[in-house]
């Protein structure tokens, strides 16, 4: 009897792979990674092959599908710099320069392996659609294709833990499927209010052999903001949102 129940359970668990909507799963992944509107603190650590590190402390606020802003809290040389993304537009504000300048998703305001697209990341469903979905052991493998040419990575391969509906690994690829970087989602943690997600994101790249960058999340929570917080005019005042 137990054998029958076991076989039935395996069969039922296998079924979803064939009836599963990839885009729905991606939406779930997005919501499990973060509320649609939230605030969060993170530390970005660039690690060189010889072990030397450079660290940045960063405050992020996000609203809805396409608005995200950030403020550097440390080190002192970066403190006060802010970033803003509204849809496909990205800007960097440096207090000494005094006015925002447009930046691109492929640049990096912190150096290292993470670029602006990784730091100011929108929901995956906002920028990608799922082309294919496959089983990969206990995970599902989603093949994502960028919706527009302006997205940083043309293709993504996302491995999703089906129990937690969270990504475990992400490969970022060019149109020709060349690997740009791999992102690993680690140390799942309860951030409170039902938000359970990876607290550590690591990345490495075959283009930067021996280098690694790590993002450590803390104090992520759901929060609503006015649209005006995500404007060029407000870039010098993002600290007032803390």
Positions touching other proteins (CB under 8 A) are 41-43, 45, 48, 52-55, 57, 59, 73-77, 79, 86-89, 94, 96-99, 102, 104-107, 111, 149-150, 187, 200, 208, 214, 216-219, 225-234, 237, 239-240, 242
What phi, psi does 76 have (nearest 5°)? -60, -35
CB of 19 to other proteins, least distance (A): 35
Measured from the CB atom, the residue of 83 and 105 that comes closer to other proteins is 105
Q: How far apart are CA 185 and CA 207, in angstroms?
A: 20
Measured from the CB atom, the residue of 142 and 215 that comes closer to other proteins is 215
CB of 152 to other proteins, least distance (A): 8
CB of 202 to other proteins, least distance (A): 9
Measured from the CB atom, the residue of 8 and 106 that comes closer to other proteins is 106
Burial class (CB in 10 A: 0-12, 13-18, 19+), 120: buried
- Per DSSP, which regions of the chain are E strands? 38-47, 53-63, 67-74, 82-86, 89-93, 100-102, 128-136, 139-146, 155-161, 166-173, 179-192, 195-204, 212-222
Q: How many CB atoms lie within 10 A of CB 189?
A: 15
Measured from the CB atom, the residue of 14 and 101 that comes closer to other proteins is 101
Measured from the CB atom, the residue of 29 and 214 that comes closer to other proteins is 214
CB of 183 to other proteins, least distance (A): 15
State how far the alpha carbon of 127 is from the alpha carbons of 49, 190, 202, in Å.
32, 27, 21
Tell me 95's DSSP state: T
CB of 102 to other proteins, least distance (A): 5
Measured from the CB atom, the residue of 52 and 163 that comes closer to other proteins is 52
As a 3-state breakdown, the chain gives helix, strand, coil percent values, each rounded to 5, of: 20, 45, 35
CB of 26 to other proteins, least distance (A): 23
């Amino acid at each position: 009897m137990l054998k029958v129940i076991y076989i039935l359970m395996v069969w039922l668990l296998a079924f979803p792979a064939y009836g599963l909507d990839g885009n729905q799963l991606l939406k779930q992944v997005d919501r499990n990674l973060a509320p649609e509107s939230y605030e969060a603190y993170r530390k970005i650590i660039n690690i060189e092959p010889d072990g030397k590190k450079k660290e940045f402390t960063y405050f992020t606020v996000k609203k809805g599908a396409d608005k995200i802003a950030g403020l550097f809290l440390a080190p002192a040389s970066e403190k006060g710099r802010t970033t803003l993304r509204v849809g496909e537009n990205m800007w960097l504000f440096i207090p000494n320069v005094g006015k925002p300048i447009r930046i691109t998703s492929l640049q990096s305001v912190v150096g290292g392996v993470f670029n602006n697209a990784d730091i100011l990341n929108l929901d995956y469903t906002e920028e990608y659609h799922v082309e294919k979905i496959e089983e990969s052991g206990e995970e599902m493998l989603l093949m994502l294709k960028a919706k527009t040419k302006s997205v940083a990575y043309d293709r993504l391969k996302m491995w999703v833990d089906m129990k937690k509906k969270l990504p475990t690994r992400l490969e970022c690829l060019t149109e020709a499927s060349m690997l740009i970087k791999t992102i690993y989602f680690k140390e799942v943690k309860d951030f409170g209010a039902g938000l359970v997600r990876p607290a550590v994101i690591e990345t490495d790249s075959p283009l930067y052999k021996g280098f690694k960058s790590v993002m450590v999340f803390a104090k992520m929570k759901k929060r609503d903001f006015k649209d005006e917080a995500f404007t060029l005019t407000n870039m010098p005042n993002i600290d007032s949102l803390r």
